[in-house]
Amino acid sequence: MNDNTKSNSTANRRLMSEFKQLSTDTICDSTVLLEKEDDLNHWLVLMQGPKDTPYEGGVFKLKFNFPDNYPFKAPDVKFMTTVYHPNIKRDTGDICQDVFASSWAPTQKVSDILTKIVSMLKEPQTSTPLETDICNEYVTNRNQFNKNAKEYTTKYAFV
């Protein structure tokens, strides 16, 4: 067995374990699905917007793409739902790397990523925004930010 096969086997075992756990123990009001029934490397997550935020009442779709060397490398995670947030690109769904990828360790799990995303939705990181105009609004006019974020949630997040 070569190193790549070992790595892939380790990743598959880990992904199967995490998938089973998240399928039975709901984390962050999320539902975890496989994008294709026979492919553990591509997940879809349906996440409820956190309570007491402008995202409450919305259901946000995220896509997780796991590398062959997971958990040694972080998965690529994107919002498929358009979100009005300083740390999420509106046009691509990219999430600021400071949220989880830049501090990734193999001991972290998908549940940790989901928890960090919920924390980010509750309290944006204003020091490293992907959307500077939204960040400026969040910092200088929170009421307008909340109004705009709620409008996007109503329009895009399957409310």
pLDDT tens-place string over residues 37-59: 989 999 999 999 999 999 999 99
- Which is nearest to 155 in space by CA: 90, 94, 96? 90
Among this protein's residues, is 28 annotated catalytic? Answer: no
At 55-91, the pLDDT tens digits run 999 999 999 999 999 999 999 999 999 999 999 999 9
Say yes or no to pLDDT of 4 above 60. no
Highest mean pLDDT among 2-11, 102-111, 134-143: 134-143
Encode 92-105 in three state secondary structure: CCEECHHHCHHHCC
Distance of CA 70 to the CA centre of its chain: 16
Number of domains in the chain: 1
Instruction: List the CATH number of the domain containing 30.
Output: 3.10.110.10
Torsion, CA 148, CA 149, CA 155, CA 159, rounded to 10: -140
Total residue count of the chain as it appears in this document: 159
- Read off the pTM: 0.90
The answer to whether 156 and 82 have CB atoms below 8 angstroms apart is yes
Question: Which of 28, 96, 117, 135 is the catalytic position?
Answer: 96
Full residue range of the structural domain in which residue 72 is found: 3-156
Is omega for the bond preceding 54 within 30 degrees of 0, making it cis? no
